[in-house]
Structure 1
Amino acid sequence: MAYFLQQLANAVPVAALYAVLAFGYAVAFTVTRRADLTHGALFAFAGQVFVLFADVGWNRLWLVLPATLAFAAAMAFTYTVGAGVLVAQRVMRPLAFSSANSVIVASLGVLLVLMETARLATETRSLWLPLFLNAPVVLVDDPAFPVTLTVIQMLNAALMLALVAAGQAVLARTRAGRIWRAVADDRGAAALCGIDPGRVFVLSYAAAAGIAAISGILAASYYGTMDFGAGLVFGVKVLFIAAIGGQGAPLRAAGGAAAVGLAETLWSAYGPILWRDFAVFGGLVIVLVLVRREKVVP
């Protein structure tokens, strides 16, 4: 029983990460209804930039660890959001309301640019952060098998869930959220009411980039590094998860993503680890086929 409780505890940080990534992806997707791989690329890019500037702050600027992490986080957030706004204005906005295939192709191009930029900036090195906030916190004091999480796991999960809650509050209760919903429901009618759908898309994309940046920073803080390939696996999973949980409803997408994070953790605990991603992607594809509804997308 204690082992099962430990796996449930282990699932909390993973579920929170998936939830916040799916939420951010759905914020941008809902405006255009176009699948986009850029969100996962921005997530990985933020993690790599965070680790890169942590290395700069520690080894070149001789900052203490808290100042190093703050400096790296600020730079990663700035670069990632800046890249997201640039992509939204120059690449995605002209294509966002046209063919879905053109958006996918463009997002692949953006993905490659971000990946190569991060690789060249790090000089193809694998950089690692020092351990911090890794003291265990006992959740269930069982002498035979204590259930624990580290401080950084609990802090990351709390921050990610708070980000989802804050984002949902903005969408549900503010004027900006009402404008976002108006464009998501019917951009033509919204334009007739004086709303610029293109501007709303850029702002939504910037918000999604900000969520991806924070997620990448927190994930790199916990894992110690960020490999671009691993980051993209998260992004592709989120794309599938959001398609099932409700791409047009960020909170539902976040809930579906959290459920997949729980299932993935339990598979890692009780099933063969080598088959984990195959099982997760296979299950997502099956569920997507079963719940798919034929619909004309304008």
Structure 2
Amino acid sequence: MAYFLQQIANAVPIAALYAALAFGYAIAFAVTKRADLTYGALFAFAGQMFVLFADFGWSRLWLVLPAAIAVGAGAAVVLGLGAGLVAGRYVMRPLAFSSANTVVVASLGSLLLLMEGARLASETRSIWLPPFLSEAILFWSDPQFPVTLTTIQVVNAALMVALVAGGHWVLSRSTFGRFWRAVSEDRDAAALCGVNPAVVYIMAYGVSSLIAAICGILAASYYGNMDFSTGLTFGVKVLFIAAIGGQAAPLVAAMGAACIGVLETLWSAYGPILWRDFAIFGFLVTVLIVMRRERYVP
């Protein structure tokens, strides 16, 4: 029983990460209806920039660890958000309403640019952060198998849940949220009512990029490192989750992604770890095929 409870506790941080990533992806997807690989690249890019600039502040500026982490987080937010806005304004928006294949190819080009830029900036080094906030918090005091999480896991999960909750409140109550819903439902009708779909698209892409950057920072702070293979794996899983049905509803996408995070953790605990990603992607593809709706045109 204690082992199962520990796995459920372990699932909370990864489920929160998946939920926040899916929430951000759905905000941009709702106004474009196009699959975009750039989102996973922005997540990985922000994580790498966080580690790189934190290392710069620690080893070059001789800052204490909290200040070095603050420098890294600030740089990652600025660079991640900036890269997302540039990609959204000059690459994705001109192509957003064209062929879906065109958008995929353009997003792949943005991905390669961000990946190579991060690699050159880090001089092809693998930089690791020192562990911090690693104190264990006890949730179940079983003398043989205590159920614990580290402080960084609890903080990250709380921040990601707050990010999703705050984002949902903004989309539900703010003027931007009303404009976003109008454009996501019918951009032509929204334009006739005085809403500028191009501005809403850039704002949605900026919010999505900001969420990806924050998630990249929080993930790198826990794992201690970030590379593009990890970021793209997260991004592709989120893309599949969104395609199943919550792609235009950020909160639905977040809840579905959280469930996938729990399933992935339980598979890691009770199944062969080498087959974990294969099993998760297979499950997502199967659900996607089952839920696919064909339109019959007489």
**TM exceeding 0.5:** yes
Equivalences for residues 69-218 of structure 1 within 5 A: 69-218=69-218
Aligned to 2:240: 240
Indicate the SS of the match to 2:129: coil
Structure 1 residues 58-115: Cα deviation after superposition (integer angstroms, max 9, x where no partner): 0000000110000100000000000000001100110011111111110000000000
Deviations 1:20-74 (A, max 9, x none): 0000000000001001011100000000000000110000000001100001000
Segments of 4+ in structure 1 off by > 6 A? Answer: none
Q: Which runs of 5+ in 1 are unaligned?
A: none
> Aligned partner of 1:49: which letter?
M
Where do residues 3-82 of structure 1 align in structure 2 (5 Å cutoff)?
Answer: 3-82=3-82
Task: State how far apart, in whole Å, the 1-side matches of 2:294 and 2:169 are.
Answer: 31
**Is 1:291 aligned with 2:291?**
yes
Map 1:259-270 to 2 at 5 A: 259-270=259-270
Unaligned runs of 5+ residues in structure 2 are none
Counting aligned pairs with the same residue, the percent is: 69
Q: Counterparts of 1:187 and 1:198 in 2: how far apart (Å)?
A: 9
Calculate the TM-score normalised by the size of structure 1: 0.98
- What code does the residue aligned with 1:21 have? L
Shift of 1:244: 1.6
Aligned residues: 296
Provide the rounded CA distance (Å) in 2 between the counterparts of 1:244 and 1:16. 19
Partner SS for 1:162: helix
Contact residue 9 and residue 148 of structure 1 kept, 8 A: yes
Matched AA of 1:294: E
**Deviation at 1:5?**
0.2
Shift of 1:295: 5.8
What is the Cα deviation at residue 195 of structure 1?
A: 1.0
Q: For residues 110-148 of structure 1, give each alpha carbon's deviation from its aligned partner in whole angstroms, at most 9, with x where no partner exists.
A: 000000000000000000000100000000011110000
Counterpart residue number, 1:222? 222
Give the 3-state SS of the residue equivalent to 1:131 in structure 2.
coil
Aligned-pair CA distance for 1:294: 3.0
Distance 2:135 2:73 in 1: 22
- Output the CA distance in 2 between the equivalents of 1:118 and 1:295: 43
Query: TM (normalized to structure 2)?
Result: 0.98
Q: Distance in 1 between matches of 2:76 and 2:250?
A: 24
RMSD: 0.9
